[in-house]
Amino acid sequence: MSWYFIEPSDVLFFGDSRSFGAGDDHLAVSIFPPNPRTVAGAFRALVLGNSNVDWHDFISGKPSAESVREIIGSPEGILGSQFSMKGPFLAYRGASSYDLHMKLPYDAYFEDQEDIQFKSFSPMTQVPFITKWPVAEFRPLWPPKGERKDAPKESYWVGTDSTKKYTQGEQFTAKAESEILTYEPRIGIALDPKTRTTREKFLYQATFVRLEPSFGFIVWLNDAFDSLPENGYLILGGETKAARYERIQSDFEYDFGLKTPSKRFKVVLMTPAYFKSGWEPEGSDWSSLLGFPAKLISASLGKPLYLGGFDIVHNEERAIQTFVSPGSVYYFEADESIQELNVPFTESISQKMPLDRLGYGQAFLGHWDWQSLEEEK
C-alpha cells in the first residue's frame, strides 16, 4: 500500500458532464478537481500498459489476462479485483513534506476579509423561525450574535495546518484558487483520422487547467500497485496530456479523524459522494456509513456535481449521475462517540463499479458545538 504524487507535465483537461465533439459543439470546459474515476482509470491503464498482456486479450477475458484483471478489474468494472484507491487530493510538494489542500468547507465564512481569515458556523439549539423541514432535529447554521457573515465569492483551498484549526472550530486561513491554478482557453481544430489533415467547420475552444509549480495530486493505492516502477509517466484526463507520478518514499500519512472521540461531529467531503436519495442515503439511514445510528442536525452543501463520461467498452456516453460536491458538510449527533470513519462516506451506483474503492466519499471529521439563543443577546 503506497501513496503516489502526480505532477502535471503541462496543462490538464478534465471534461465536465457534457458530451463534446468538434463539429457538434465549439466549447469544451474543464472541471477541477478531477473526477476520481478519471485518476483511477489512468492508473488502471498504466498497469495494463506496463504488463505483457495484449489489450484484446484483456477485453475478451482470456486466461493470459487474468493476472492483470486481478489488479485492475475488467473493462466492465473493478468488482472481483484488488483495486482500491483514495483520492485524488490536491497537494503541494515541499522540500521534505506534502501539504494536502482541502476545498474550503461550505460552512465557512469570512471573519476577516483583509487577512483572509475564516471561521465556521454552528447549529442553533433552537429554531428561531417557522420552517417546513422534513426532519424535526434539523437546526439552522447561525453566525455569532446573528450578525451577517459573507461567504467568499472565489474558490479557496485549505492547507493541512489550517484544516486542523477548522476541525477544532478555530479561526483559520485559506489560499485562493487563483494562487494554485489558472484556466487557459485554447483554440483547436479537429483532424481527419485517416489523412491527419484539418477538417472544415471543426474549430473548437477548450479550457485547460495549469497548476502552479510544486502542486499536484496525491492518491493512495493498494499494495498490488507496488509492482509498478517507482516513477514514470501516465496519461491523465482528456487530450492525452501527460503527468509524472512518483511513489512517496517517506512515511507519509494523513489523519482524517479526530484527536479525541466525540458524539458531536461533522463530516467534510474531500472528494465527491453519491447517495441514492440525492444528498442523503436511501431512507436517511446514515448507520451504514457511520457504523451506528446518528441524527443529522444540519448540513451545508455545495452545488450538485453532474458526472458522466464516455464508456469505451460500449462506445457510448455514460448516464449522468448527481454527486454531492467536495467541501460539503454534514453535522451529526450520536449516542456513541466517533474518532474516525471506517468506510468512505458514499454509496455506489452499481455493484460492478463500487465507488468507495474508486476514491469517492473521502472525508475528514471535525468537532462542533451548539450555539444557544442566549449567545445572541
Q: CATH code at 316?
A: 2.60.40.4350
Tell me the average pLDDT across 196-201. 63
Residue tagged 483551498 (cell numbers)? 157
Confidence class of residue 257 from pLDDT cuts 50, 70 and 90? Answer: very high
* Domain contains 335: yes
pLDDT given for residue 250 in this prediction: 72
Instruction: List the single range of 24-33, 118-127, 161-170, 309-318 with lowest mean pLDDT.
Output: 309-318
pLDDT given for residue 195 in this prediction: 64
- How far apart CA 8 and CA 140 sit, in angstroms, is 41
Q: What is the pLDDT of residues 153-198, one digit of tens each?
A: 889 999 999 999 999 999 999 999 999 999 998 776 666 666 666 6
* Domain contains 275: yes
More confident residue, 153 or 329: 329
**Contact of 244 with 233, CB cutoff 8 Å:** yes
pLDDT given for residue 146 in this prediction: 76
- How far apart CA 224 and CA 107 sit, in angstroms, is 38
Residue tagged 475478451 (cell numbers)? 60
Chain mean position to CA 344: 12
pLDDT score of 377 more than 60: no
pLDDT given for residue 23 in this prediction: 45
**Contact of 129 with 177, CB cutoff 8 Å:** no
* Domain contains 341: yes
Take residue 72 and report the three cell numbers written for it.
485492475
* Domain contains 205: no
pLDDT given for residue 187 in this prediction: 75
pLDDT score of 220 more than 90: yes
- Asked whether the CA dihedral 222, 227, 233, 235 is positive or negative, the reply is negative
Count other C-beta atoms under 10 Å from residue 253's C-beta: 9
* Domain contains 328: yes
Tell me the average pLDDT across 280-297. 92
Instruction: List the single range of 12-26, 72-86, 320-334 with lowest mean pLDDT.
Output: 12-26
201: left (phi over 0), alpha (psi -120 to 50) or beta: left
pTM of the model: 0.91
* Domain contains 340: yes
Instruction: List the single range of 35-49, 148-162, 256-270 with lowest mean pLDDT.
Output: 148-162
* Domain contains 368: yes
Residue 305 lies in domain = 262-374
Tell me the average pLDDT across 214-238. 94
Question: What is the domain count for the chain?
Answer: 1
What percent of the chain shows pLDDT beyond 70?
A: 89
Q: What is the pLDDT of residues 126-137, one digit of tens each?
A: 888 888 887 777
Residue tagged 518514499 (cell numbers)? 249
Take residue 370 and report the three cell numbers written for it.
451548539
